[in-house]
Structure 1
Amino acid sequence: MMKKLICFNVLVLMLVLLAACSSSTGGKQTIEVALWDENTKEAVNASIKAFNEKHPDVKVNVTYTPWADYWTKLKTSIGGGSGPDVFWMNGPNFYQYSTQGLIKNLEPFIEDDSDFSKDIYFPAVVDLYSLEGDLYAAPYFVDAVGLYYNKKLFDDAGLEYPNESWTWEDIEEVGMKLTDPENGVYGYVAHTVQSQSGYYNLMHQAGGYIISDDKTKSGFNTPEAKEAFNFIQNLIDKGISPSTQTQIETKPEQMFMSGKVAMLPRISVSAAELEGELGEELGVAPLPKGKKEASIVHGIGWAMNEKTKEQDLAWELIKSLANEDGNRVIAESGFSIPAIKGLSDVWKESLPSLDLQIFIDAQDTGVAYPVSERTAEWQDVETAEIQRAFLGQQTIDEALEKIGTKMDKILEEEQND
């Protein structure tokens, strides 16, 4: 009996060892990828397929996490010693991830790799993801803000479409003519919930800034900021724009796609989705100017987990996603402007009914998305105080003063760290 038990135990042990060998040596190596927008799925899958042609024994798992949960889930998983090997990075979170050792410096990989050059990308997105001259996220696509409009609503009202000569006065004048309270139609969305598509642009157009060039001073407690936010309040008060409460309850882009908004400031990433809903009824123009022209530009990069155990394979995958072929497929999908300068026309041709050149031009003339080491922290303050003001819980002046004071303190602490 004892001999049978020993033999059985030996057999079980052998099976366990065989299973372990099968998963570690006979099985595939795995790379985990994380991002938040499933609209890029076809383009991402195409780049992964190209990667697998060179690395057939590597399995790539892609997880799409909704934006509302993405950063919390990512920070928790990386902080716990795991997390994805490769993932999307954005401007507001870049300094935190790069300075806290959460993502790898890609410069050593670039220096040893003749197939990768930073020179082919738009300089703005390279600068956005560089720290002391070293690149920490490979550029994937860039975006800018333009004015989308519903041609049918303009045609029904007998009005000319927006063009490059438009100013804030045109928004108010034409927006009022397009507003139809009886049918629940607004002329324009004055964003109070979305910063990049809304008030960031207006603050610069008023001659101000969000953060000073040396990253030591807030631009919220300035006369220019007050001018921008009073313009927003005026549009809401006149019924031209939906209120903040309405914008919270129903996303402005949903109202626009359902024909309840005539003009919508929005990033280039929305072009394909909006065109898919409105078709030939969709038009796009440059943002109307205030004292000056301004459109916030931004972009997304591919970062590598500092603790990845597959750094060489992760780098190869990042290259496949961010190289010319990877940028080409994201451009052909119509999703947004490829980060490689020479492929802009590919994106333009993906949606020929729209004048997408306005977004491309903004890469040279636009304003970089505002970032500092603790962007996410002062943006939380900004969002809370602005919403409180537009929900009637304080005045605009009180909100801007609070944001400026708290943001200045954060920026001062950054300088002293």
Structure 2
Amino acid sequence: MKTTLTAMAAVLALSTAAFAEDKVTIEFAYPYSHLFDVTYEKILPKFYAQHPNIEVKMRATYESYEDGTNTILREAVAGNLPDVTMQGLNRQAILVEKGIAKSLEPFIAKEADFAKDGYHKAMLDLGTFGGQVHGLPFSVSLPVGYYNMEVMEKAGITDVSQLPKTWDEVVEVCGKLREAGVKNPMFWGWNITGNWFLQALMWSQDKPTVEGADFTLDEPEGLTALNTMNDLFDGCEMQNLEWKAALASFASGEIGMMYWSTSAVGAVERSMGDFTLMTNEYPGLVEGGPKGLPAGGNSAMLVSASDDPAVLDAAWKWLKFITSGEGAADVARTTGYMPPNQAANEIILKDFYDQNPAKATAVRQLPLLREWQAYPGDNGLAATQVIYDALEGIVTGEYDDMEELQEELTEEVQDLLPSSS
């Protein structure tokens, strides 16, 4: 008997050793820890239950999408790339153009019934370049309005139907809230990544911010966008808060109206004080609302420098898991993002939005979805920063002549973009 047990122990020891040798470790990097840490905490146990031989090592999170892209570009030069990276939807192209992101077509070709996992064409198109899928979208967001209804009541607003529908109405409500003693009635997310809110004002007029290699801010829609921002910041006496401070201030009940990505709904709900939160459609320049809005969010890309088939297979399994089925559904459950996955939205989340109305606003706005544009060429990130600095100048009062700013900003950004001739 003792001999038998000893033999069994030896077999188990060998099996355990073999199991350890077979374990594959992949490295993964993503942005915005305050939004997504809780998401991956939900996803990882489900992934490990299906793939016990794969370990996902999390790298330090990116501060923003721009930081994520800059980090990957540096790591590609240094030879220190992760296996999978999450990148802003508007930052995928540069990694494809530089040969850093791998085509997912060889992996997709080996999958049986890939479309049945929820990957419909509209989703795949978001990460398709040159006819090849390079990124699988993980989350999609749209800008929405957040409202503290106890604060809004001070302006006589007690029902969702009374919430402002235009930016002029927002300024009007700001005045009423200030009269009622609210020190900071509104925050408008000018500093959100990728000049997203400038593009929101342009798309609201059905105008792209970039056409080919041309920066279109010099057109009438550009001046309307700048004037709208100036009117909002001045009329609401908006404080120049760093975006994390703005979210924290709203969650603590200090701000009545916040215009931001739907992505933060989950984070706000987890940290908010004792007040009634409502979200509502993004206001427009006119009563009818925006004509379009840019799709925010991020995409999973395979950037592994490994030539080990086991590592690449493990990276694909992780990438596929987080963008499909239960993995994608956890995005909606833990954030305010919409999973761009048909199965997650139509099957797994069938009753979710009825039970979570604050997260349903962006879904109602889906017909408005337009491209979140990147500035073309190698200086795209520099152009983003130039625009960021100019928008901050409007907030701080450094710029008050919008026609002059329009001219200067257009010239500076256009000089950074490739020649259109």
Q: Quick check: TM above 0.5?
A: yes
Matches of 1:351 and 1:274 in 2, distance apart? 19
> What does residue range 350-365 of structure 1 map to in structure 2 within 5 Å?
352=355, 354-365=357-368
Structure 2 distance, partners of 1:316, 1:207, is: 39
1:99 and 1:348 mapped to 2: Cα distance?
Answer: 40
Greater Cα radius of gyration, structure 1 or 2: 1
Matches within 5 A, 1:391-410: 391-394=396-399, 395-410=401-416
**Per-residue Cα deviation, 1:125-157 (whole angstroms, up to 9, x for no partner):** 533321022111112121111111110012233
CA deviations 1:289-344 (Å, max 9, x no partner) are 11451332122111111523321221112112112121122233344211113433
Match for 2:28 among 30, 33, 37? Answer: 33
Aligned in 2, Cα 1:355/1:196: closer, same or farther, shift over 3 Å? farther
Residue deviations 1:359-397 (CA, integer Å, cap 9, x gap):
013222222211254442321221123323443444433
Q: Which residue of 1 aligns with 2:221?
A: 224
Change (3 A) 1:28 1:356: closer
- C-alpha separation in 1, matches of 2:325 and 2:243: 40
Partner of 2:199: 200
Query: Could you tell me which residue of structure 2 aligns to residue 283 of structure 1?
Result: 278
Is 1:371 aligned to residue 374 of structure 2?
Answer: yes
Between the aligned partners of 1:52 and 1:334, the Cα distance in structure 2 is 22
Q: Is the 8 A contact 1:51 1:316 kept in 2?
A: no
Q: Distance in 2 between matches of 1:109 and 1:49?
A: 24
**Per the alignment, do residues 97 and 123 of structure 1 end up closer, same or farther by CA in structure 2, a change over 3 Å counting?**
same
Change in 2 beyond 3 A, CA 1:157/1:183: closer
Which residue of structure 2 aligns with residue 316 of structure 1? 317
The alignment status of 1:190 with 2:161, answered yes or no, reads no
Amino acid corresponding to residue 265 of structure 1 in structure 2: Y
Once the two structures are superposed, residues 4-45 of structure 1 have per-residue CA deviations (whole angstroms, 9 ceiling, x without a partner) of xxxxxxxxxxxxxxxxxx899837321111112334334424
Give the corresponding residue for 1:237.
234
The alpha-carbon distance between structure 1 residues 98 and 144, as it changes in their structure 2 partners (threshold 3 A), is same
CA displacement at 1:167 relative to structure 2: 1.9
Of 369, 374, 393, the residue aligned with 1:388 is 393
Code of the aligned partner of 2:226: F
Q: 1:114 to 1:403 in 2, by over 3 A?
A: farther
Distance in 2 (alpha carbons) for counterparts of 1:247 and 1:124: 36
Match of 1:412 among 392, 414, 418: 418
Partner secondary structure for residue 247 of structure 1? coil
- Cα 1:23–1:205 change in 2 (3 A) is same
Q: CA RMSD in A?
A: 3.1
Counterpart of 1:332 in structure 2 is 333
Secondary structure of the residue aligned to 2:279 is strand
Contact 1:154 1:161 survives alignment (8 Å): no
Are 1:67 and 2:63 matched, yes or no? Answer: yes
**Structure 2 residue 355 is the aligned partner of structure 1 residue 349:** no
| Secondary structure at the counterpart of residue 36 of structure 1 | coil
Matched, 1:130 2:133: no
- Greater alpha carbon shift after TM alignment, 62-71 vs 217-226: 62-71
Distance 1:46 1:206, change over 3 A: closer
Distance 2:134 2:116 in 1: 11
Q: SS at 1:156's partner residue?
A: helix
**What does 1:94-133 align with in structure 2 at a 5 Å threshold?**
94-117=92-115, 120-121=118-119, 125-133=123-131
Indicate conservation of the 8 Å contact 1:196/1:296, yes or no: no
Match of 2:149 among 148, 151, 160: 151
In 2, Cα distance between the equivalents of 1:40 and 1:153?
Answer: 29
Tell me the amino acid that sits aligned with residue 217 of structure 1: D
Distance 1:324 1:271, change over 3 A: same
Do 2:84 and 2:303's aligned partners in 1 also have CA atoms closer than 8 Å? yes
1: CA distance, partners of 2:274 / 2:294: 26
Q: Distance in 1 between matches of 2:120 and 2:165?
A: 27
Distance 1:279 1:129 in 2: 40
Distance change >3 Å, CA 30–CA 319, structure 1 → 2: same
- CA offsets 1:171-210 (integer angstroms, 9 cap, x no match): 1222221225855232x22343236563322223245331
Q: Does 1:58 align with 2:54?
A: yes
Residues 391 and 318 from structure 1, CA distance in 2 versus in 1: closer, same or farther, beyond 3 angstroms? Answer: same
Structure 1: which 5+ runs fail to align?
Answer: 1-21
1:209 aligned onto 2:208: yes
Partner of 1:8: none
Kept in 2, the 8 Å contact 1:348–1:356? The answer is no
SS of residue matched to 2:264: helix
Cα distance change on mapping 1:317 and 1:207 into 2, 3 Å: closer
TM-score between both structures, scaled by the size of structure 2: 0.81
SS of structure 1 residue aligned to 2:300: strand
User: Alpha-carbon deviation of 1:237?
Assistant: 2.3
Counterpart CA distance in 1 for 2:410 and 2:36 is: 37
Conserved in 2, the CA contact under 8 Å of 1:37 and 1:64? no
SS of equivalent residue, structure 1 residue 56 = coil
Give the structure 1 partner of residue 175 of structure 2.
176
Change (3 A) 1:89 1:249: closer
Amino acid at match of 1:337: M
The answer as to whether partners of 1:206 and 1:225 remain within 8 angstroms in 2 is no
